[in-house]
Structures are given as structure tokens and as C-alpha cells.
Amino acid sequence: MGQQHNEEKLDNIMENYKAIRECLTGLSDILNINFNEKDIFRQAGMDNLKALHTNVLAVLRKSYTPREVRIQLREIEFDEKEAEVVFPL
């Protein structure tokens, strides 16, 4: 039961990660639509979104074993690659 509970908990956390990733992509879209590529506010916003994503991944890795996180991230790798076209990290 303990193993299954941990797997369910990790699944829920990865669903939250996907939602965060979608929000970051949406914010990236807003920056791209509203600001010129060379605009300092767009660049600062993109830098902050990248830093936020990096920190979310760091929290995941500290909460679970790197192996568990890798397995879960592989399951959403396609979505990540698709999102990276819009929001390069």
C-alpha cells in the first residue's frame, strides 16, 4: 500500500507540474504577443519564467528520487518537446 500511495502522490504532483508548465507556456505566449523580441521587459519576463521552471524541477527532484522524477518526466516528454517550441528552456 505504501508504494502505491507514493506512486499516486507522484502522479498527482506530475499533473500539477503539467499544469504549471501550461501556465508558463501561456505566460510566454503573452510576452511574445505583447512585446518585441528585443524588448527588455520581454527578455526579463522570459528569464524569470525559465528560472521558475528550473526551480519547480529542483523541488521535484528534492521531493522524490531522481529516478522517479525521470520516469514521470519521460512520460510527458512529448508534451515538453512540443511546449519547448513555444517556450524554449
What is the model's pLDDT at position 66? 73
Q: What's the pLDDT at 40?
A: 95
Question: Is 25 domain-assigned?
Answer: no
- What is the 3 state secondary structure string of the chain? CHHHHHHHHHHHHHHHHHHHHHHHHHHHHHHHHHCCCCCHHHHHHHHHHHHHHHHHHHHHHHHCCHHHHHHHHHHCHHHHHHHHHHCCC
Q: Is residue 57 part of a domain?
A: yes
30 part of a folded domain = no
- 29 falls within a domain: no
Comparison of pLDDT for 27 and 8, the residue scoring more: 27
pLDDT band at 81; cut points 50, 70, 90:
low
Task: Quote the domain boundaries for residue 47.
Answer: 2-20+36-86
Number of domain units in the chain: 1
* pLDDT tens per residue, range 24-77: 999 999 999 999 999 999 999 999 999 998 888 888 877 777 777 777 777 766
Q: Does pTM top 0.85 for this prediction?
A: no
